[in-house]
Structure 1
Amino acid sequence: MIARIALAALVAATPLTAQTFEVVAELDQGPGNVTVTPDGRIILSLHQFYAPEMRVVELTEDGSLVPFPTPRWAGPRQADGTGLAAVLGLRSSADGVVWMLDNGSGGQVQQRLVGWNTQTDELEAAIDIPAEASVEGSFHNDLALDAERPLAYTADIAGGFAIINLETGEGRRALDGHVSTMAEDVDFIVRGELLRNPDGSRARVALNPITISPDNEWVYYGAMNGTAVWRVPTAALADPELPAEELAALVERYGDKPPSDGITVDDIGNVYITDGGGNAIGVTGPDGRYRVLVADPRIEWPDGMSAGPDGWMYATVNRLNNTPPLNAGASTEPAGPYYVVRWRPIGSAVVGR
C-alpha cells in the first residue's frame, strides 16, 4: 500500500473562464512542474521553495498525492544514492519513462537526471550531470527530451544549455552567455509587487522555460526575465561538432512573451506561456504575437506545463511570488491554495511536451 502524504480536493470541470479551462485539483502543497505519462498518470514535482517532505508525487484519481515513484525515491537523497535532493523539471518520454531533474537543492549536492520507467515500474537510470555540462553557479531547472536521439536538454539559469546523453551519461554546454539564454533588464511584477531577490535586489533570472516541438524539429526557450521566445533547430543543438558561432547563427527570435516561467507547444507552433505577471496563461503564435488565452485571479504564478494523452494541456499554479527567494527574503501568508489546471490547446497536444 502506498502511503498518502497529502490531500488534494479534486474539483471536476470547474471553468476558469467561458473558455475550456478547468481546475483539475486544489492542492495544499506547492507544486513545481507537471508531466503526464502516455497512460494518463499526472506526476508533479513539489517545489523546493516550500521545503516539501516528498520531492515528486502522483496526483491520483481520488485527488490524493502519493510519493512517486516510491516513498524512498520520492524522499530525501540517501547515502545509497536513492532519493532526490530537489526536483523542479520533470518530463515523461513517449515510452513512459519519467525523467526527473534533481537540481541538487540549488547545486548544493550533485545534480543529476533520474529516470523511472512507469511501464516496468523500475529505475531506468540515474545520471550525474557531468562537470563538462555545468559552470560555476549552475542550476539545472527544467528540461526537454529529444524524441529522436537519447538526449535531454536542460535549461541552466546560469545562462546556457546542458546537453546530456541518456545512454552514455556524457554532457556538454551550448549557447553559454548568448543573448537568448541571458536575462534582460526587465522587471517581473506580480499583483503590483516587484520580484526581488532575498537581498532586496531586483530579480533577474536567465534561461528557464524550455520545450521541444512535437515534430522534434525545434527547441523553444527563453529567459524568465525576458520578453522573447527563442528557438534553435534541435539537430543543431544536438550536434557536438557544430562550431559555437554556427549554432548561435541558427538561433531565431520566434516571438514576444512577458516575463514568465514555463512554456509548452502544440503541433502547429503555438507556444503556451505561464504569464505570472498577468495571472494568466498566454500564447505566442507563429505570427510572433503574444496574447492572453485566459486570465483568472486564482492563477497566481502559473509554473510548469505538460500535454496529456487526453488532448488537454496541464499547468501548475504555485504562487512563488509569495516565497522568500522571490519576495526580498520575506514570506507572504497565507501562501495557498495551489492548483493544477488544464485547457484545450489551439492545435493538438502531444505527450512529452
Structure 2
Amino acid sequence: MKRLFAAVSIIAVLAGPASAQGLETFLEFPKDTPPGNLAIGPDGRMFMSVHEFYGPELRVVEVMADGSTKPYPTEAWARAPQGDGDGLRGVLGLRADREGILWMLDGQGEGQTGRVVGWDTKAEKLHAIYYIGQPVARSTSFLNDLAIDREHGAIYISDTGDGANSAIIVIDMDTGQARRLLEGSAFTVPEDTPMIIDGREITLGGSPAKIGINPITIDPTNTWVYFAPMTASAMYRVRTTDLLDASLSDDALAAKVERYGDKVISDGSTVDAEGNVYITAMTDNAIGVTKPDGTYEVLFQSDEDLPWPDGFSMGVDGFVYATVNELHRSPVLNGGVDASKGTYRIVRFPALGTAVSGR
C-alpha cells in the first residue's frame, strides 16, 4: 500500500503574484535543516539531502508524514564518517528508484573519492556502493546530481567540474566500471552569462558563478537522459542507448545529442511521461518548464516565496515536489556570510503530464 503524506493542515497556497497562485507549500523546515534535493520512493516515502553549502551536521533525512525529519539511513550513516566507519561526507543528488533503492551521491572532496551509495529502503540495509575515482573523476570534479536507469543497469552523473571540464559520468551497475563522456563539450560547459539574483552577481570561490552541467534526469521509459549546464539557455537530451554505447567516440556521441528546447539559468530538473522537463529557475525565483515543442514557460514565480528553488522529485500522487533553500544567501555563494532568512520549504504542484515516481 502506498504511503501518501497526510500533512493537509500545513499545506497553504503561496501568496504573491498571480503567476504563483496554485503552488502549494507542502512543508516548512527550521533554520538547521536547509533542504537540498528530494527523492520520493514508490511507496511514497520521502527522503531529502540537507544542503552541504550551509555546513549541516546531518547529510540525509527522511521526511515524515507529520513534517518532522529523522536521520537517514541510520544515525551513523546520516553524519560524517568517523575514520573508516559508516557515514556520508556530503550529499547533494539523491534519487529513489522503482525497486525502493535510495541512491545518494556522496561527492568527491579533498582526500576522498566520490561515490554513489545505494540503500535498500524496504530491507533497511546497505545495497551497494560505487566508487568514482580518478581518472574518470578529475581533481576539480564536483559530483552534482544523478539519474538512475535500472532497466539498463546504469547511473548517469553530472560532474560540474571547473566549467572547462564539465562532463557526464556513466556507471555500469553490473561491473562498477565508470566512463567520462562529453567532457568540455558545448552541451556540458557553461555559457558566458552572469548569474544575477536579486540584483547581485553570484560568485563562487571569488569568481563569477558560471556553472557547467548540473540538472540531469531520465524519462519514465529510460529512453532519454535530459541534461544541461546550470548556466545555459538550452536543455539537451541524448538516448540512453547512445550513452551506453562504449564504441562511440566523444565526437560521435556529441553528434547524437539533441537540443530539446529553451530554458533559463537553472538548478534541478525532472521530466514527466509527456516530455515536460521542469526546471528550478533560481535566477528568476521561479519554477518553469521546457515543453516538448521546445518552448519555455514560467509556471510559478515569487520573489518572496521562491528564493532559489533547487531540487525536484515526482510524487506517487501526481504532484511534482520541489525544494526551496535560498542558496544564493549561503556562505558558499555569499562571500562566506550566511544571509539566509530561513525560507526552507518543499512546494508542490500537479504535473502537466503523467508523473512517475521512483526512478
TM over 0.5: yes
- Match of residue 323, structure 1, among 327, 330, 342: 330
- Match of residue 274, structure 1, among 277, 280, 285: 280
**Separation in structure 2 between the aligned mates of residue 69 and residue 340 of structure 1, nearest angstrom:** 20
Aligned length: 342
Partner residue, 2:191: 184
Partner residue, 1:53: 57
Q: What is the one-letter code of the residue matched to 2:317?
A: D
**Separation in structure 1 between the aligned mates of residue 283 and residue 358 of structure 2, nearest angstrom:** 26
Distance apart, 1:81 and its partner CA? 4.1
- Greater shift after overlay, 137-146 or 15-24? 15-24
Q: What is the one-letter code of the residue matched to 2:92?
A: L
**Separation in structure 2 between the aligned mates of residue 10 and residue 202 of structure 1, nearest angstrom:** 42
Does 1:37 find its partner at 2:35?
no
Question: Alignment RMSD, CA only?
Answer: 1.6
**Separation in structure 2 between the aligned mates of residue 248 and residue 107 of structure 1, nearest angstrom:** 31
Question: For the Cα contact (< 8 Å) 1:133–1:163, is it kept in 2?
Answer: no
**Separation in structure 2 between the aligned mates of residue 292 and residue 332 of structure 1, nearest angstrom:** 29
Q: What is the one-letter code of the residue matched to 1:204?
A: K
Partner residue, 2:23: 21
Does 1:287 find its partner at 2:293?
yes
**Separation in structure 2 between the aligned mates of residue 62 and residue 53 of structure 1, nearest angstrom:** 22
CA displacement 1:116-174 (0-9 Å, x = unmatched): 00111110012211324212311111000113111101000020011112232211111
- Change over 3 Å in CA distance of 1:20–1:83 after alignment to 2: same
- Match of residue 302, structure 1, among 302, 306, 309: 309
Give the SS at the match of 1:62.
coil
- Greater shift after overlay, 42-51 or 133-142? 133-142
**Separation in structure 2 between the aligned mates of residue 350 and residue 240 of structure 1, nearest angstrom:** 29
Partner residue, 1:98: 102
**Separation in structure 2 between the aligned mates of residue 349 and residue 276 of structure 1, nearest angstrom:** 23
Q: What is the one-letter code of the residue matched to 1:22?
A: E
Question: For the Cα contact (< 8 Å) 2:105–2:117, is it kept in 1?
Answer: yes
CA displacement 1:75-121 (0-9 Å, x = unmatched): 112323410000000001111000000003x4552111100001111
- Change over 3 Å in CA distance of 1:132–1:330 after alignment to 2: closer
**Separation in structure 1 between the aligned mates of residue 8 and residue 74 of structure 2, nearest angstrom:** 22
Question: For the Cα contact (< 8 Å) 1:187–1:203, is it kept in 2?
Answer: yes
CA displacement 1:207-253 (0-9 Å, x = unmatched): 10000111211110111111110111111011222222211100111
Question: For the Cα contact (< 8 Å) 2:330–2:340, is it kept in 1?
Answer: no
Partner residue, 1:175: 182
Question: For the Cα contact (< 8 Å) 1:133–1:164, is it kept in 2?
Answer: no
Question: For the Cα contact (< 8 Å) 1:198–1:324, is it kept in 2?
Answer: no
- Match of residue 117, structure 1, among 112, 120, 132: 120
The percent of aligned pairs where both chains have the same amino acid is: 46
**Separation in structure 1 between the aligned mates of residue 217 and residue 126 of structure 2, nearest angstrom:** 24
- Change over 3 Å in CA distance of 1:242–1:280 after alignment to 2: same
**Separation in structure 2 between the aligned mates of residue 250 and residue 126 of structure 1, nearest angstrom:** 30
Partner residue, 2:75: 71
Partner residue, 1:155: 158
Q: What is the one-letter code of the residue matched to 1:311?
A: G
- Greater shift after overlay, 157-166 or 332-341? 332-341
Does 1:231 find its partner at 2:237?
yes
Partner residue, 1:333: 339
**Separation in structure 1 between the aligned mates of residue 250 and residue 102 of structure 2, nearest angstrom:** 31
Any residues of structure 2 matched to 1:187-202 within 5 Å, and which? 187-199=194-206, 201-202=207-208
Partner residue, 2:3: none
- Change over 3 Å in CA distance of 1:326–1:10 after alignment to 2: farther
**Separation in structure 1 between the aligned mates of residue 251 and residue 46 of structure 2, nearest angstrom:** 40
**Separation in structure 1 between the aligned mates of residue 101 and residue 35 of structure 2, nearest angstrom:** 20
CA displacement 1:8-56 (0-9 Å, x = unmatched): x986331126754211111122111001010111100001111111100
Q: What is the one-letter code of the residue matched to 2:275?
A: G
**Separation in structure 2 between the aligned mates of residue 10 and residue 64 of structure 1, nearest angstrom:** 14
CA displacement 1:322-341 (0-9 Å, x = unmatched): 012222x1425343120111
TM-score (ref. length: structure 2): 0.91
**Separation in structure 1 between the aligned mates of residue 13 and residue 121 of structure 2, nearest angstrom:** 31
Partner residue, 1:250: 256
Does 1:219 find its partner at 2:228?
no
**Separation in structure 1 between the aligned mates of residue 129 and residue 8 of structure 2, nearest angstrom:** 33
**Separation in structure 2 between the aligned mates of residue 147 and residue 331 of structure 1, nearest angstrom:** 41
Give the SS at the match of 1:72.
coil
**Separation in structure 2 between the aligned mates of residue 334 and residue 173 of structure 1, nearest angstrom:** 36
**Separation in structure 1 between the aligned mates of residue 45 and residue 89 of structure 2, nearest angstrom:** 23
